[in-house]
Structure 1
Amino acid sequence: MRAQAKLLVLKLIKENQLDDIMVQVEQMKFRLTYIFLKLFSKNRILTSIYYLFSSEFKREQYSVINGKMVHFGDILNKRNNDYLLRRNIHRIEKGLLMRPRKDVFAARFINETMNSFDYLLDKNDSSISNTQLKWANDVLKEYFRVVGSHPSIDKEKKRYNELKIKNKINNSNKFIPYKRNLEKQMVITLEQLKELSIIRRSVRWFEDKPVPRQAIDYAIEIGLQAPSACNRQPFRYQIFDDPELVKKIAKIPSGTAGFYHNIPTLVAVIGDLTAYPFERDRHLIYIDSSLSIMPFLYGLEVQGLSSCPLNWPDIEKKEKELEKIIRTKKYERVIMFIAVGYPDEDAKVAFSRKKDIDEFRTFNLNVDEV
């Protein structure tokens, strides 16, 4: 039977019919898929039933619930949650700069903020930089100085004043809301910024030359100035520059076939879902990390380095393959990989014609026109 099937396939190949048959099979799969989608997309209940039998979002759900568990566990056990403290200190900052400023604000979350701050101060957690601790302290000090009386606030103000802070935090240069020097906005011209965006293109062929770690760090420092929801910055950069390890990892993402062996340095950007107590915020790891990645790429470019963002699709087989190597935590998600290196001067890049601005932009679109 197998021999007959093999002969049939060989005959079809000779007659150039196999491709036509495969196209017809694909079209039939598309039709069946469309029929199912049309049925289950009629309302949200049917959609939920459809995804009960689909594994497409299972890993995301697993990561989100583990992130929530860690987040709430930190609060209940009065442990430090870096993201909680960063979020709350930033919320207090926004209260300080409001116009007009409320006499009483942040009363609802000042207790959990002080719990986290107190824990950090007491444990001297090495994972938290002194500058972050200083930022939290400076904002809290200013907050308690200007905020009005309220039972919750008065209690935490007394607690703050009793903390032994003096020798633990540098008191120079207050890290509190300030007025920007707007003259500095014109250091880089609009033309220069646009030119940089045109020069930067995804490069797939690099020189056989190591990338200085200092150059990567400098570009990351630029990327970390990007905006982030409540300043949580729920991601990290993991750098791979061991040649064998880079080749092993670089062939896993989609779209690297043919050039993965040529990548000198590989950067993984990994999101952390312990930053959020609610599912509604689960997409922020993708949004905030992407906001950081673009200036990171520009930071590489101005140092003579080139890059190529690599697609990381949500495919369980690939996730498991990668998990064996880089051992991400249950609440972490890989956002993307970025190939980095010195560009091969003789190699070409794709023209990648971008869409015209009119295809992207509208002003004050009426609801009826959507």
Structure 2
Amino acid sequence: MKTIARQLLPANLKNSIRDTLTRFDSLLLSIFSKPIFMAHPRISNAIYRLFSSKFDREQQAVLAGRLAYRVNTGVGEKSSALLRRNTHRLEKGLSMQPRREVFAEEFIIETATCFVQCMAADKICEQELKWAEDVLSSYFGAVTHTANIAEAYRIFAQTSRCSDTSESGSAPSSIPYQHQQIEKSHIDTDSFTALCRQRRAVRWFSEQSVVDADIDRAIEIASLAPSACNRQPFEFFVANDRELAPSIAKYAGGTSGFVDNIPCTIVVVGDLSAYPAERDRHVIYIDGSLAAMQLMLALETMGLSSCPINWPDLDVPEQKMAKRLGLKPFERPIMLIAVGYAESDGMIPFSQKKRAGVLRKDI
């Protein structure tokens, strides 16, 4: 209906309606931002429910994600959010100084049960299963076996792999290790600063095609980014095609003027089914953004330029993107990234950055 109205109404009437709505919004803000109302969050919520639908899609996505988590008991199509979270919690316990003789009693049975379910499902990533198995084996060998832990070990030991160590022993163990064992890079601060200065938002690309193998390698590097409880609640939808990439990028709305020359578009999509509670609804944006930044830096080292494209929370573009990508109700786009080889004489904005003196606030 809004699209039809935009096409039929004259420009002066559309501007008049827009101005009226803006003034009404300003009036609401001036009234309901007063301390007497701000002290009562339920009033603010009621005002938004009456006059705005801006949070509707987020609420629906969060509810759909929570339901999917409960129905699937944290076990997804290729990965288990529950197993990943609890395995990471066990890792932190094993890394604690000093390590406690008994820990994780409140969730160890749940973890062992989930591991057995994932093994039986035969659809979870092999590396994920090996990591969980190694950490669980290390855990059971390190703690005192209380009644809960003994029961969890009984459940865990049901799997055939636990008794057959030849398979899991053929690869390096995926358990916590000392900091001194980290493989050190040869990048110093100046080199890294130079890489960050080199990475600019590029909007003008050459005709050279992007190699799929380079995208895959950059995604592998992006997966090394930190993630809350190592759940990694995101995926990268890749449109590496000269006709498809611009059609996807156009949904963002902020690509006017340069969208038709984008050779490859990546959509970073968050998965709210990784969480059983509303409190974690923003983690997809944090973790997805951390991975996206690492992805763009990785691309830069390969000679590929990129441009992060903002994805505002707007209903119509969300619906179009969800339909085009076949997203589930609990999957939400976080941002888009244009990728390609920069046109050598293409212009880029200077974009002055804030200095440490402006950004730092001492506590």
- Same-fold call, TM cutoff 0.5: yes
Q: For residues 152-191 of structure 1, what are the structure 2 equivalents within 5 Å? A: 152-165=148-161, 166=164, 169-171=167-169, 172-181=171-180, 184-185=183-184, 187-191=186-190
Kindly tell me: are residues 168 and 66 of structure 1, through their superposed partners in 2, closer, same or farther at Cα, counting changes over 3 Å?
farther
SS in 1 for 2:102: coil
Residues 72 and 277, structure 1, Cα contact 8 Å, conserved in 2? yes
C-alpha distance in 2 between matches for 1:316 and 1:76:
28
Per-residue CA distance 1:183-223 (angstroms, 9 max, x = gap)? 85461010000011111100000011210011111111111
**1 CA distance for matches of 2:283 and 2:152?**
30
- Decide which of 43, 47, 58 is 1:46's aligned counterpart: 43
Structure-1 residue corresponding to 2:3: none
Contact 1:80 1:117 in 2 (8 A): no
Structure 2 CA distance for partners of 1:158 and 1:283, relative to 1, 3 Å: same
SS of equivalent residue, structure 2 residue 352: coil
Question: What is the total number of aligned residue pairs between the two structures?
Answer: 345
* Number of the residue aligned with 2:135: 139
For residue 149 of structure 1, what is the aligned residue in structure 2? 145
* Alpha-carbon spacing, 1:151–1:81, altered in 2? closer, same or farther (3 Å): farther
Kept after mapping to 2: 8 A contact 1:247/1:263: yes
Question: Equivalents in 2 of 1:252, 1:288: separation in Å?
Answer: 23
Name the SS of the counterpart of 1:312 in structure 2: coil
Task: Decide which of 76, 82, 86 is 2:84's aligned counterpart.
Answer: 86
Cα pair 1:74 1:81 within 8 Å, conserved: no
Where 1:334 maps in the other structure, the secondary structure is: strand
- Tell me, what secondary structure is at the counterpart of 2:286? helix
Instruction: Quote the Cα distance in structure 2 between the aligned partners of 1:77 and 1:232.
Output: 12
Q: CA deviation at 1:357?
A: 1.5
Q: Secondary structure at the match of 1:238?
A: strand
The percent identity for this pair of structures is 40
- 1:284 maps to what in 2? 283
Instruction: Provide the rounded CA distance (Å) in 2 between the counterparts of 1:148 and 1:132.
Output: 26
CA distance in 2: counterparts of 1:111 and 1:288, whole angstroms: 28
Question: Structure 1 stretch 175-184 or stretch 334-343: which is displaced more?
Answer: 175-184
Distance 2:282 2:205 in 1: 33
> Could you tell me how far 1:305 is from its partner in structure 2?
0.4
Query: Which letter maps to 2:233?
Result: P
Q: Are 2:26 and 1:34 aligned?
A: yes
Unaligned ranges ≥5, structure 2 = 1-9
1:218 maps to 2:217: yes
Q: CA deviation at 1:181?
A: 3.2
Partner SS, residue 320 of structure 2: helix
> Given residue 121 of structure 2, which amino acid in structure 1 is its aligned partner?
K
SS of equivalent residue, structure 1 residue 344? coil
Q: Which moved more, 1:192-201 or 1:49-58?
A: 49-58
- Indicate the residue corresponding to 1:267 in structure 2: 266
Q: Which amino acid aligns with 2:128?
A: Q
Shift, 1:168, TM fit: 8.7
Pairs within 5 Å for 1:243-254: 243-254=242-253
Normalized against structure 2, the TM-score is what?
Answer: 0.89
Amino acid at match of 2:357: D
- Please report how far the alpha carbon of residue 327 of structure 1 lies from its aligned counterpart in structure 2 after TM superposition: 1.4
Structure 1 residue 159, shift from structure 2 partner: 2.4
Contact kept? 1:223, 1:293, Cα under 8 Å: yes
Query: 298-307 or 47-56: which moved more?
Result: 47-56
Q: Which residue of 2 aligns with 1:7?
A: none
Query: Per-residue deviation at 1:278?
Result: 0.8
Q: Is the 8 A contact 2:226 2:290 kept in 1?
A: yes
* Aligned counterparts of 1:163 and 1:30: Cα–Cα separation in 2: 62
Secondary structure of the residue aligned to 1:268 is strand
The answer (yes or no) to whether the contact 2:249–2:265 under 8 Å persists in 1 is: yes
Instruction: For 1:328 and 1:76, locate their aligned partners in 2 and report how far apart those are by CA, in whole Å.
Output: 18
Whether the aligned pair in 2 keeps the contact of 1:78 and 1:119 (CA below 8 Å) is no
Query: Contact 2:75/2:81 (CA < 8 Å) preserved in 1?
Result: no
- Paired residues for 1:90-105 under 5 Å: 90-105=88-103
Counterpart AA for 1:268: V
Distance 1:276 1:168, change over 3 A: farther
1:192, 1:77 → 2: CA distance? 41
Match of 1:326 in 2: 325
188 and 81 in structure 1: CA distance in 2 versus 1, 3 angstrom threshold: closer
Amino acid across the alignment from 1:252? Y
- Give distance in 2, aligned partners of 1:323 and 1:76: 22
Q: Deviations over 1:47-88 (max 9, x none)?
A: 111121221011111110111011112239999961110000
Whether 1:293 aligns to 2:292 is yes
In structure 2, distance between residues paired with 1:348 and 1:306:
13
SS of the residue corresponding to residue 100 of structure 1 reads: coil
Q: Measure how far apart 1:123 and its partner are.
A: 2.7
SS of structure 2 residue aligned to 1:309: strand
Aligned partner letter, 2:241: D
* 1:10-25 matches, cutoff 5 A: none
- Aligned CA distance change for structure 1 residues 169 and 86 (closer, same or farther; 3 Å): farther
The Cα shift of 1:28 comes to 5.8
Which one has a bigger Cα radius of gyration?
1
Give yes or no for the alignment of 1:194 onto 2:193: yes
Whole-angstrom CA distance in 2 between matches of 1:307 and 1:76:
34
SS for the counterpart of 2:144 is coil
Question: Is contact 2:228–2:287 with CA below 8 Å preserved after alignment?
Answer: yes
